[in-house]
Structure 1
C-alpha cells in the first residue's frame, strides 16, 4: 500500500490552542468590567464583553457575527471603512481613534477605540482585540464649555467672542468674492424704561423675543449676535448692493416693532441701527464694529427707529467731538466754567422773582463762550451728568452767598433729559441739598425741556415726584415746542410753564404766535400752573404779555445774563427805576 504521509501535529495543536484561546477570551469578555470586542479574520465580531453589549443596549448574541460598522453612525462607518481599517491592517495597531456608536435607542455615544491585530506565523491576520472608552460625558462637557464660551446664556445667540471669529471669516469671504459684508449694530430704543417699569424678568423675556423675531429675517449665511444688554450685531454676508442692504434693514426694523408677550405684558419697542459696509469701509474688524456703533448713535440722535450708514465725514466729526469733550472735561477740572444769571421779574409788582443760571465757558484762548458753542457736544456723553451736578452745586453756593448779603431769591437751572432720567438722580440731588442746610430747597428750581419730560413720561413723573418731596421746584422749559397733550400736562408734577421765546419774540407782528402765547397762558391758568415768558426783548413785549395776563417774564428787554457779582446791584436798580410800570 502506497501513500503520502504528512505530520499535522503542529497544525492541530495550533488549532486547539486557538480554540482554547477563544474560549478563554469569551470567559474573559463575560466577566470583564471593560468594554472589549474582538474581530475574526472575516471582519465580524468574534467576542463582545457583557459591558459593551449592555452599554449599546444589545445582548451579546445579537452582536456576535455582525460587522462593527453596523453599530456606528454612517459617518463613523465610512471613516472606519475608508481610513481606519486599511491603516490597521497595515500597521497592526491603532490608538484612541474617535468613533460615534449608535445605541439601540438611537442615542449617539462618543468613544475612543484602541486595537491590536494578531497575526499567524505567516503574518496573515487572525483576529483583533479592541478596547472601547466612552467619552460621551467628556464630549458633552466640552460642548457645554464651548457653548458658555461662545454663546449668550440668555438668548443662545453667538456672543462677542464667536461674533469676532465669524466677522473675520465674513471679511475674508468678501475679499475672495468682492461682495459686501454689512456690519449692523442694533440697539433697542427705550429698553431701560421697560426694565425699570416691569422688572428685569420681563426685560429678559423681551430680549429673547427680539432675538427670536430677528432670527426670522436672517439668511442662511447671516449671523445675529448679542453683545450684552440690549445691544445686538447682525452680519449680513454676500450683499450685492446698498439697496439690497437697506431692504434687509427695513425688514429688521419692521420685525423689531412686532409686539412681544412677556408674562402678562405685551411690549412693543423699536430699534436704532448703525451700519458699516466692508470693503467700502476698509478697516479691521474692531474698527468696523466701532464705526457701526457710531452710526447707531447717529440714528438715535436723528429720532430713533431708523438705520444710519457710517461715512468717513461722520467719523471725522465724531473724532472732533471726542477731542472737544476731552477739552471740556479738562475745563471742568480747571474751573473754567462760570454761571451767568438772567433775572426773572413780576411786571405787576416789580419783584425780582429769581434768576435763571446760564453756563458760560471762560476759554483760555477763545474768550467767553456762550452755551450754544459747546453744550450740543454734551448730549449723551459721560460729561452730561457731572456738568449738570456742577451747575446745581454752583447755583446753591451762589444762593448761600446772596443770602449772606441779605438777598433772598430763587435760581433755576437747566437739567438735561439724560441727567434727569438717571437712576441715581434723586439720590445725588438729595446729597447735594444736604451740603447746603441753610439754603431752602424751594429756592432751587430745575428746568426740564418739555420734550425730555414727555419722552419718558412714566419714569419722568416718578423722578419729579421724588425730587419734589425734597422741596425743589420744577419748570417745564420751552413749552409749546414739544408735543404735550392735556393728559400729559395734568400728569407732570411741575410748578411752572415757560413759554418758548420763539413764540414771544414774534408775537407783536405774528397773530399766530400771539394766539399761541394767549393759549398757553390760558392753559396754565386752567391747570393752576405759574407761567413765565422767555424772550422778552423789549418793553413792548412786556406790555403785550401783561395785557394777556402773563406777568412773570425774562429776556433781553429786562436784562441780559450777568455775572453773579452784578446781580444784587441790578436788583436794587430795577426796583428804583420802576421800569416795569412803563407803558
Structure 2
C-alpha cells in the first residue's frame, strides 16, 4: 500500500504487485528529472531514466554504488552536510550545486532532497530530485507538492483500473460525492453511476483501453446521499513503461450550478421581463446587445445608455484591473464566473451585487454570447455589515468588544515583535461608578459611560484601541510606545479625560479612574495573560487609593515612581511660588525701538538655583500641571503688562503656549476671562507663541482656536519657524501675524551657508505672505548686520540682552541703544 495524507492508493487482488510497481516505475521513469533514492550512507538504491540521461550512468552502473561518484572533489563535504540535515528530518529545497557526469564533464543542477520514512516515521533513506538548470526550461513537481495540489483542488480526482476499481480518491472527491477515501478505494466506479448510466462506464473503459482521452464529458453521477449531480469529466489513460494502458486518471467537476443556469437561460424568453434579477447579454466582444427591465431599475440607466456599450460603463473604482483580468481569465478557462462585485449606477453611487456570467457557445464550441445575472445585494450587504459590527463592537459605547480586542491585541503584538517596538495594555476601571448607577439609575449610568468613553477615545491616538469589556471596565492597547515614561504620559491623558465633569440630564456627574498597565514584550505573556497582568496592576492601583496608575512590571514602576516624584516636586514648586517669569527684550535693531519682551519660565530652586524650562517642562507634558502652569504663565504675563503700563512702559509681552493647552475645549473662554480680569491691558499687547510643530499636529483645530483668540484681540506668532517642515499651504492657512526664525539657524549664519539660505528663505516667505519676522539667537553684532542686510529688523538674543527678572526690564529699556553699525545701516 502507498498512502499520502488526503490522497490514497490501495491495491486489491485485481492488480498484482508487479503492476503496481510498473505504475510507480512509469511515473518516475517518465520524468525528465533525475530521481534517485539512496541509503543514509549514500548507497544508490534507485536510478531513473532521467538520471541516466542527466549523468550518463545506467541504472546497472549506479545501483549499489556510492552517490559520491557524482561529486566533484571540492563538493564532497556537501554529502555529509546534506545527510546531517536529512537525519535531522529536514528537507533541502532547490539546492543549486555542481555534479559530475560519467564523461567527467561538470553539470549545474538544482537538487531537492527529502528524507524517506518508514511507517513508524523513522528516517531510512533519502530521495533526491536533480534537475539540469543549464537552460531552466522544465519544472518537476515533487510527489509531496503534487499530493498537496490534488488535495487542494475542488475537483474530484480519482485513479482507477481498467476494470473500474478505484485506486485513489482525493478530498475533492470526498466533498463532491460524500464518500470517504476509505469507503471508495477498492470499490468500483459503478457505485457512482445512476442505473440509466451504467453503460457509459463500459464505453469509457473501452476507449481508455484503446489509449484514447475523454475531455469534458458532461454526465450525471450519484452522491452517497442519493442526490444526483451534474459533472464534467475528463479521463486520461495511465500507461506503464511499456506503453500498455493499466488504468485511468479521472477529473470530475461539479457543474450542477452551470446546468441550472443553462436551464434558466432556456426559460429566459418567458421570464426575462419579470425576474427581479438584472440580466445583461453581450456579444463575443463584450458589447451589450440586450438588458432586462430589472437591470435598468437596479443600475438607473436607460436602455439607450447601455446598448452598444461594454460593461466598463458600470465598473466601480473598488475593483482594480487585476480583478477584471481574473474575471476574464475565468470566462476563458471555464466559460463562467460567479462572485460578489461592486458596480456603479448612473448617478455614480456604488452597489453590491452577486454576479454570475456564463458564456454561450455555438455548435463549433465558439463563444457567441455572454449572459450576466445581477442580483442587487446592497441591503443584504448592509445588514451583514451591521451584524458583523454588532459581533465585534459594544452595543452601548460602540467601542471594540472582547472579541475584537483579542484580535487587535494579537496583531499589535505581532507588529511589535516585527518592528522591535513596545506596546502597552491598560486595564481601566471607573472609580465609584456603582454608586452613581445605584443613585441615579442605569439609564443615567449608561449615558455617563458613553460620555466618558468618547472622552477617552478623543484623548487617545488614532492608532490605539480602546475596548469596553463589561460594566465600567475598559482595556486600551497603545502601540509603538517608546518608553515607560511615554506610556504613563498617555495613560495620564486618559485619566484626565475620565475625571472631567459630565452633565447628564441636567445632573453634573464626575468620576475618576484607576488604570493598571503592562508593557509587551517586556512582559513576555500571551494576549490573555497581558490583560490579566494589567488587571492585577489595576487592583494595586485601587488598593493604593484609586485615581492613579500602577505598572505591573517592577522596573517600569520604578520609572513611574521617579516621574511621580518629579511631578510632585514641580507641583510643590508651583504652589510654593518658586516658578517665575524672566523677560527677554525684543527690539528693532535699525530704529532702536524696544517693542516687546518674551516671557520665559524659570524655576527658582532653593538648592539648584535657576532651573531652565527644558529640565522640567517635558515632565509635565500631558499632565494636568501642564495646563495649570500654562494658564498661570498667561495670567502672570497680563499682570506684568498691567504693572508696566501703569509705570509708563508700553510694550507687548509674548507667552509660549503648548499645543495641549491651546486645544483645551475651554481655552478661548479661559483666555477671555483672564483678559477681562485686566481691563486696562490692551489684548493686542499679549502675543501667544506656538511652536511650528504644534501648529502642524491638528491644523484645522489650531487655526480655529487662533481665529477665536484673534477675535479677542490677541496676537499670535509661530516660534522656532523652520524646524517643523511646514508646507506653503500650512503657512498660508495659519493666521499668525509673526514668524520667529529658530535660533539654531540664526547662530551660525556667518559660518554655515545652508543656515544662511534657510534664514534668507524664511524672511522671503514672511515678506511674501505679509507676516512680520523676528530672529531669535542674535548673539553678535555681525549676526545683526547680516540680518539687517537680509531685511530682518526685529530680533532678540544674548547679543541684545539675556532674559531678566521683570523688575530689571524698565531700566534696561531706558538705557538700551542699538549698536552704531545697526542704526546706520541702510
Q: TM-score, normalised by structure 2?
A: 0.37
Aligned to 1:470: 712
CA shift, 1:234, in A, is 6.0
In structure 2, relative to structure 1, the CA distance for the partners of 1:506 and 1:431 (3 Å cut) is same
Aligned to 2:612: 370
CA shift, 1:475, in A, is 0.2
Aligned to 1:518: 760
CA shift, 1:431, in A, is 0.2
Match of 2:736 among 480, 494, 498: 494
Counterpart Cα distance in 2 of 1:416 and 1:183: 26
May I ask how many residue pairs the two structures share in their alignment?
A: 338
Q: What pairs with 1:145-544 in structure 2 (closer than 5 Å)? A: 153-155=396-398, 158=401, 184-185=425-426, 225=468, 232-233=475-476, 275=520, 278=523, 285-286=534-535, 288=537, 313-544=555-786
Matched, 1:558 2:800: yes
The C-alpha deviation readout for 1:518-574, integer Å capped at 9, x for no partner, is 000000000000000001111111111111110100000010000101101111111
Counterpart contact for 2:588–2:793, Cα < 8 Å: yes
- Structure 1 unmatched ranges of 5 or more: 1-146, 168-181, 188-199, 216-222, 236-272, 293-308
Counterpart Cα distance in 1 of 2:646 and 2:655: 21
CA shift, 1:274, in A, is 5.5
Counterpart Cα distance in 1 of 2:521 and 2:536: 10
Counterpart Cα distance in 2 of 1:497 and 1:227: 50
Counterpart Cα distance in 2 of 1:571 and 1:214: 51
For CA contacts below 8 A with separation 6 or more, give which structure has more relative contact order.
1
SS at match of 1:508: coil
Counterpart Cα distance in 2 of 1:458 and 1:333: 35
Aligned to 2:380: none
The C-alpha deviation readout for 1:451-475, integer Å capped at 9, x for no partner, is 1111101100100000000000000
CA shift, 1:184, in A, is 3.1
The C-alpha deviation readout for 1:379-408, integer Å capped at 9, x for no partner, is 111101110111111111111111111100
Counterpart contact for 2:590–2:793, Cα < 8 Å: yes
CA shift, 1:442, in A, is 0.3
CA shift, 1:483, in A, is 2.1
Counterpart contact for 2:534–2:552, Cα < 8 Å: no
Counterpart Cα distance in 2 of 1:358 and 1:387: 12
Q: TM-score, normalised by structure 1?
A: 0.52
Counterpart Cα distance in 2 of 1:214 and 1:503: 36
Counterpart Cα distance in 2 of 1:290 and 1:500: 47
Counterpart contact for 1:384–1:419, Cα < 8 Å: yes
Counterpart contact for 2:590–2:818, Cα < 8 Å: no
In structure 2, relative to structure 1, the CA distance for the partners of 1:568 and 1:330 (3 Å cut) is same
Moved more, 412-421 or 324-333: 324-333
Counterpart Cα distance in 1 of 2:681 and 2:554: 51
Counterpart Cα distance in 2 of 1:455 and 1:495: 19
SS at match of 2:774: strand
The C-alpha deviation readout for 1:191-212, integer Å capped at 9, x for no partner, is xxxxxxxxx99x98xx8xx9xx
Counterpart Cα distance in 2 of 1:484 and 1:310: 40
Counterpart Cα distance in 1 of 2:587 and 2:803: 13
Counterpart Cα distance in 2 of 1:386 and 1:565: 24
Counterpart Cα distance in 1 of 2:470 and 2:802: 49
Counterpart Cα distance in 2 of 1:512 and 1:214: 39
Counterpart Cα distance in 1 of 2:557 and 2:798: 39
Higher helix share: 1
Counterpart contact for 1:276–1:288, Cα < 8 Å: no
Counterpart contact for 1:186–1:274, Cα < 8 Å: no
SS at match of 1:400: helix
Counterpart Cα distance in 2 of 1:398 and 1:375: 22
SS at match of 1:575: coil
CA shift, 1:321, in A, is 1.4
SS at match of 1:383: helix
Counterpart contact for 2:604–2:610, Cα < 8 Å: yes
Matched, 1:546 2:788: yes
SS at match of 1:476: strand
Counterpart contact for 2:778–2:798, Cα < 8 Å: yes
Counterpart contact for 2:604–2:611, Cα < 8 Å: yes
In structure 2, relative to structure 1, the CA distance for the partners of 1:226 and 1:391 (3 Å cut) is farther
CA shift, 1:323, in A, is 1.2
In structure 2, relative to structure 1, the CA distance for the partners of 1:156 and 1:494 (3 Å cut) is closer
CA shift, 1:448, in A, is 0.2
Counterpart Cα distance in 2 of 1:156 and 1:575: 63
CA shift, 1:233, in A, is 3.6
CA shift, 1:422, in A, is 0.6
In structure 2, relative to structure 1, the CA distance for the partners of 1:214 and 1:332 (3 Å cut) is closer
Counterpart Cα distance in 2 of 1:391 and 1:475: 17
CA shift, 1:575, in A, is 3.2
